[in-house]
Amino acid sequence: MDDSQSDIASKEFRRAIKNAFIKLDKNLRKNDYDNWGSVCIACLIGPKQIYLINVGDAQAIIISDNGEILASAHGNYFLFIYLIYFSFHESLDHTLDDPNEEERIQEAGGKITRKSPKDILRVEQRLAMRRVLEDFTIDKNIVSPIPDIIIYSRKPSAAFIILASDGIWHVMSNEQAASFVIQRISTTDLHEMASQLLDHCLEKRSRDNMSVYIIQV
């Protein structure tokens, strides 16, 4: 497959993923879960590309075997920094401090406020993020189910993917999580390492929901 064919395939795949999330959100709306919602962080691993897919405030990072951050997915903007041997892809959280998303929400009839002076920004005084699946107490035009998708072209240096909910990232940076994995990989299997990572975050007093997957690529 040449570059032009690869670009077309990537665009079609990106469109298919977004349509799948929209369809899932519509199907969930048919059920009686009016007071519930969810975020999603996912990855699809192919021989040449890795797709990082995100709705909400969970995050994913791709790291090298020496702990270098090669790509990250945690939001709806893309920052491309082209370096000599690889490109680093980053996106921002689906939280509420981005002026473009704030404008989109307000144009859809939503309000962004704080419950108290010390509180974080929230949509309709509830959600602290602007993209989420299945929270139907808030109008579907205000909070979007459409995922952000980062396509990372695989390089030999890519070694691990860490997918985790915000309870992990509240107390650990991308670099700290990467270092945690690299320091233990020679002595600990991935399942035990994930358990140790959760315990580590509890020790650091994380009190949000915590889920983590560590994948060797």
| Bridging pattern class, strands 69-73 and 79-82 | unpaired
Report the distance separating Cα 112 and Cα 97, nearest Å: 10
Cβ neighbours for 150, distance < 8 A, ≥ 6 positions apart: 51, 52, 54, 71, 72, 73, 78, 89, 91
User: pLDDT category, 147, cuts 50, 70, 90?
Assistant: confident
Q: Give me the CATH number covering residue 7.
A: 3.60.40.10
Domain, as residue range, for 35: 3-216
Q: Among 25-34, 172-181, 202-211, where is mean pLDDT lowest?
A: 25-34
- Which letter, b or e, does each residue of 107-135 get, where b requires 16 or more Cβ atoms within 10 Å of its Cβ? eeebebeeeeeeeebbbbeebbbbbbbbb
pLDDT of res. 125: 47
pLDDT of res. 208: 86
Report the distance separating Cα 12 and Cα 124, nearest Å: 34
| Bridging pattern class, strands 212-216 and 40-45 | unpaired
Domain count, the chain: 1
Contacts of residues 170-179 at CB distance under 8 Å and 24 or more positions apart, as own/partner, are: 170/206, 170/208, 171/201, 171/204, 171/205, 171/206, 172/200, 172/201, 172/204, 174/59, 174/61, 174/69, 174/72, 175/67, 175/69, 177/61, 178/61, 178/63, 178/67, 178/68, 178/69, 179/67
Q: What is the pLDDT of residues 85-111, one digit of tens each?
A: 233 344 444 444 555 555 655 665 555
3-class DSSP state for residue 45?
A: strand
Contacts of residues 85-89 at CB distance under 8 Å and 24 or more positions apart, as own/partner, are: 86/155, 86/157, 87/153, 89/150, 89/152
- The pTM of the full predicted model, rounded to 2 decimals, is 0.69
